[in-house]
Structure 1
């Protein structure tokens, strides 16, 4: 009986830790996606600003 309680306790702890890790991973993916969109928008704005500063090339 004691072995069964240990197995159930260890399995429960493992499932709890796995759930916490998956929840943290989900939030990290969301934060990473937001950061990726922010970097893309800032890069686009920097590119437009740099293009406006340069005089048009004469050919």
Structure 2
């Protein structure tokens, strides 16, 4: 996350909160980072009832 200039505190907070209730569903969009010259955003989709989780990465011109 540091590589893209993304704030790790918000992502770590979300991970910590979902770890307390792993059976829940949650969506979270990490604030965008621009340190590479691109606008990079991670959209996280978590569903504790599934074995596979989804991360959508958006990359746009900054």
Length-normalised TM-score, structure 1: 0.27
> Which has the bigger relative contact order, CA under 8 A and spacing at least 6?
2
Q: Pick the structure with more helix per residue.
A: 1
**Rg larger in structure:** 1
Normalising by structure 2, we get a TM-score of 0.26
Higher relative strand content: 2
